[in-house]
Amino acid sequence: MASKSVAFLHFCTKAGVSQRDKTEMTTKVFCLDFAKQTSAHVLKLALLFASFCLGACGGSSGSAGNALDLGTGTQLQILDLGAVSKSATASALAPDWWRGAFMQIYVRAYQDTDGDGKGDLKGLIQRLDYLQGLGVKGLWLLPITESSDRDHGYAVKNYRAIEADYGSQADFDLLLSEAHKRGMGVILDFVINHSSNQHPLFLNSSSSAKNAQRDYFIWQTPKPTGWQIYGQDPWYASNWANGFYFAGFTSSMPDFNLRSNDVESFHHDNLRFWLNKGVDGFRFDAVGNLIENGPGAWEVQAENHVVMSKVRQTIMQYSQRFMVCEAPANSNAFAQADSCGSAFAFDLSGSVVGAAKGDTASIQKLADYYKTRSANLAPFVSNHDSFAGDRLWNQVQGNLAQYKMAAASYLLLPGTPFIYYGEEIGMASSNALSGDAALRTPMSWTADAKGFSTATPFRALSANVNSQNVTQQLSDNNSLYQHYKQLLALRNTQLALRSGTYEAAWAFQKTMGFQRVAGAEKIMVVLNFDTQANALNVSNLTPGETWAPLMGANVSATVSSAGVLQLNLPAQSFAVFKKN
Ligand SMILES: [Ca+2]
Ligand SMILES: [Ca+2]
């Protein structure tokens, strides 16, 4: 026993270094206390500490084979566990609110109000008028629940608590009511595939093979072989209990066992917790990674659709809710009604940007996309992840004509469009940062950091904050902001653009066009991506009918007796018409 005590003390010293995180701080205090105990208490403390420390320490060393018999291990209280029944199901929003454009918002980077250099919910509330003025109808908030990563929020520690940096539950309730007053819905990022390794469920699960919550996560003994996910072996040893846990992204974010009924109930109860508060829906993270069937079958398994179909059923018991899934590997399958019902159009973004640059193959792909795919695929051009592409400004290297063509291309398509915060003002990524962080810089409200915070911001600013910021954009009638505002106004006022079908699409060289049709209402969009003017002949129309200009043209156009509409489009321009 003495040698084991020495080993534990050594482990305590090693584990108690960091004070950044509450759990680690608790570990340090515990370790100091532990060192003072008499031998009569050593074994009991050692067992408690071993089970407590296990998850917090990440389980990265390979001592699993020397585990002690810990009985049932740790029994930490789990604040986000427990049944939640469906209660208030009404919505304050218009039935088709979710067909308007969303703004994807990283709360930490949006607006600071308490001078700590980090954005918060009160800051977002202050900026709701700006978002309403732009014409946004929905907000997707990157995770705002308590996390251990202190940044992006995807390592969730408590699914029912607001991250302390962001404010209180009361702040969130106020955000919801203020957004709803402005006709905007709020959807939350829900991390269904994994939690933090500091979530109490994982601390319990990892404390002993006999723990009541063991099966909330995925354990194997001996360590499985042959696995590689995103270039890494996803199986990690735990230090004190037999077994290796599965973590598809990183050792600090263990995958839930989504075959477990308990895990399913856990998630559904947490969804209802927020739905009962009036949350308008969710964006689901990494739904291609939910269930694994082996080293060659870990992505987009058939069972994933079953999991998401059940989630969708729970959410749709509430009125006018919206959900959208992240599934880069097979977006169209997850957009179906027997799965998520809606998913991001990851395989469209490249065509939008390529078309804007005048690439004819991209223009053809863009014109064809919604001919064969679900109208519930949500178009976007960039987001918070670098794998999805750099910020649009960087992708078009600041070419404003291309930028405006890209925006017109995706904001008038079927599917709910998602704008990444700052995209509407031409925010660039940061030159001082790399990877995802470069895409997640503080919002450029002013030409310096002061519009975001009175303190030094938590992260470097966008590289073009001096030239592209809200103050500058609002004062320029020809700005990107005004361009986005006009496009959203069109979408918000024209039923066919919000919910119409996608019809009569064509592409020819560097031009393309399509119609959006809702009953008798027909809208025609024509785009010229060329750097020179082009005369277009749109054929197969009804002779004699007239089309009134809505945007990008000044006069009505009449279809010839041969069924052809002749249009002259200047270089890098587009026009929108409505059939009289
Ligand atoms: Ca703050
Ligand atoms: Ca998984």
Q: What is the pLDDT of residues 367-378, one digit of tens each?
A: 999 999 999 999
Q: How far is the CA of 292 from the centre of ligand 2 (A)?
A: 6
What is the mean predicted confidence (pLDDT) over 178-203? Answer: 98
What is the SS3 assignment for 354? helix
Task: Name the DSSP letter for residue 289.
Answer: G
With a CB cutoff of 8 Å and minimum separation 6, the contacts of 516 are 412, 414, 494, 496, 497, 500, 501, 502, 503, 522, 523, 525
Q: Does residue 82 have a pLDDT over 90?
A: yes
- Give 298-346 pLDDT, tens digit per residue: 999 999 999 999 999 999 999 999 999 999 999 999 999 999 999 999 9
Residue 425 and residue 130 in contact, taking contact as beta carbons nearer than 8 Å: no
pLDDT digits (tens, 9 = 90+) for 422-444: 999 999 999 999 999 999 999 99
* Centroid of ligand 1 to alpha carbon of 170 (angstroms): 15
Q: Given this model, what pLDDT does residue 150 score?
A: 87
CA 527 – ligand 1 centroid, Å: 43
Class of residue 294 by CB neighbours under 10 A (exposed 0-12, middle 13-18, buried 19+): exposed
Centre of ligand 1 to C-alpha 127, Å, is 14
Q: What is the pTM of this model?
A: 0.89
d(CA 365, CA 370): 9
Between the CA of residue 251 and those of 194, 326, 372, what are the distances in Å?
A: 11, 21, 39
pLDDT at 64: 39
CB 90 within 8 A of CB 319: yes
Average pLDDT over residues 545-552: 97
The bound ligand whose nearest atom lies closest to the alpha carbon of 255 is 2
| Weakest-pLDDT range from 68-72, 81-85, 343-347, 491-495 | 68-72
Q: How far is the CA of 139 from the centre of ligand 1 (A)?
A: 19
For residue range 489-513, list pLDDT tens digits in order. Answer: 999 999 999 999 999 999 999 999 9
Given a contact cutoff of 8 angstroms between Cβ atoms, the answer to whether 296 and 200 are in contact is no
Helices 2-15 and 22-36 sit at what angle, rounded to 10 degrees?
Answer: 150
- Ligand 1 centroid from CA 122, angstroms: 8
% helix / strand / coil in the chain, to the nearest 5? 35, 20, 45
Does residue 35 have a pLDDT over 70?
A: no
> Which CATH class, in words, describes the domain spanning 97-195+261-493?
alpha beta
pLDDT at 241: 65
Q: What is the DSSP letter of 194?
A: B
The rounded distance, in Å, linking the Cα atoms of 539 and 523 is 15
What is the chain's alpha carbon radius of gyration, rounded to the nearest angstrom?
A: 26
Closest CA to 404 of 336, 355, 371, 348: 355
Give the Å distance between the CA of 289 and the centre of ligand 2: 5
| pLDDT at 402 > cutoff 80 | yes
Q: 154: which DSSP letter? A: -
Tokens coding 355: 């078309």
How many residues are there in the chain? 580
Average pLDDT over residues 471-492: 98
CATH architecture of 499-579: Sandwich (2.60)
Neighbours of 554 (CB within 10 A): 6
Nearest Cα to Cα of residue 112 among 459, 471, 428: 459
pLDDT at res. 424 = 98
User: Average pLDDT, whole number, for the chain?
Assistant: 90
Q: What is the pLDDT of residue 32?
A: 29
- End-to-end Cα, the chain, rounded Å: 88
Residue-level pLDDT at 71: 87
* Extents of the domains making up the chain: 2-78+196-246, 97-195+261-493, 499-579
Q: How far is the CA of 19 from the centre of ligand 2 (A)?
A: 30
Among the bound ligands, the one closest to the CA of 217 = 2
pLDDT number for residue 30: 31
Copy the structure tokens of residue 565: 């509409």
Residue with tokens 């993270």: 285
* Separation of CA 141 and ligand 2 centre (Å): 22
Question: Of the ligands numbered here, which is closest to the C-alpha atom of 291?
Answer: 2
Q: How far is the CA of 173 from the centre of ligand 1 (A)?
A: 17
Task: Tell me, letter by letter, the H, E, C secondary structure of 236-276.
Answer: EECCCCCCEEECCCCCCCCEECCCCHHHHHHHHHHHHHHHH
pLDDT (average), residues 72-80 = 94
Q: What pLDDT sits at residue 317?
A: 98
- Predicted local confidence at residue 66, as pLDDT: 41
Give the distance (Å) from ligand 2 centre to CA of residue 60: 19
- Ligand nearest the Cα of residue 110 is 1
DSSP, collapsed to helix, strand or coil, labels residue 575 as: strand
Which ligand has the shortest distance to the CA of 452? 1
Ligand 2 centroid distance, CA of 258 (Å): 7
Domains 97-195+261-493 and 499-579 share a fold: no
pLDDT in tens, 380-394: 999 999 999 999 999
**Percent above pLDDT 70 for the chain:** 87
The pLDDT assigned to 55 comes to: 38
Spacing, Cα 128 to ligand 1 middle (Å): 16
Ligand nearest to the CA of 166: 1
